[in-house]
């Protein structure tokens, strides 16, 4: 199977019956449980290549209450990291970002998303090749969806002016799409491994160029 082709449901791995992350699990930076709820918060799910560096980008963003990494957009229930890496689960490496909209706007979160990877590469980011590295946004609200769609259009124009091609980022509502938390070693990976593999594939193009 070509790792840049989304697996069909009938050919996806069967997966497991239990989550791969044993709860309770506490965020290594904030100390909060990963299943903690925050009053008045919003959540958005962002896939932008390897989730280790992407997660750190957002946990250091003012107004972000919590981050977690996991797998989203596939067919295999409770997938392991090893299974996702085969390309036979259909999932993308994804960061769940929970934020306080009174402190940071959805547009600010999405600007960080678009400006910190190359959303034109399809099923890859740099040397990381496969469907798990695709660019995608899963929105929890229609307002998030509208903001993501608008910013995608703006960034597309800026990228074209800079010589890049079409944005391949898939934008959809998260309704009914399961987010599976990744294993403990992947949560806050760069906190435990500060010299760990953390490529940034930003284009250098900014949304503010319009």
Residues carrying an active site annotation? 50
- Cβ within 8 Å of residue 152, ≥6 positions away: 114, 119, 167, 169, 171
Q: What angle do CA 130, 18, 129 make, to 5 degrees?
A: 5
Residue 51's nearest CA partner among 78, 85, 22, 16 is 85
CB atoms within 10 A of CB 22: 10
| Cβ–Cβ under 8 Å, residues 55 and 188 | yes
């Amino acid at each position: 199977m070509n790792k840049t082709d989304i697996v069909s449901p009938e050919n996806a791995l069967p997966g497991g019956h239990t989550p791969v992350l044993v709860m309770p699990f506490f965020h290594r930076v904030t100390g909060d449980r990963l299943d903690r709820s925050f009053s008045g918060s919003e959540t958005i799910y962002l896939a932008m290549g390897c989730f280790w560096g992407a997660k750190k980008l957002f946990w250091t963003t003012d107004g972000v209450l919590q981050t977690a990494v996991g797998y989203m957009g596939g067919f295999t229930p409770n997938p392991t990291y090893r299974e996702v890496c085969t390309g036979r689960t259909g999932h993308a490496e994804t960061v769940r970002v929970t934020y306080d909209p009174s402190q940071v706007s959805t547009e600010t979160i999405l600007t960080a998303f678009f400006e910190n990877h190359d959303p034109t590469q399809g099923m890859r980011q740099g040397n990381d090749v496969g469907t798990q590295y695709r660019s995608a946004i899963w929105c929890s609200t229609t307002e998030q969806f509208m903001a993501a769609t608008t910013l995608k259009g703006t960034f597309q124009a800026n990228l074209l002016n800079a010589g890049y091609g079409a944005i391949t980022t898939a934008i959809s509502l998260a309704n009914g799409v399961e987010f599976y938390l990744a294993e403990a070693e992947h949560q806050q990976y760069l906190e435990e491994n500060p010299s760990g593999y953390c490529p940034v594939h930003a284009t250098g193009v900014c949304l503010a160029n319009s």
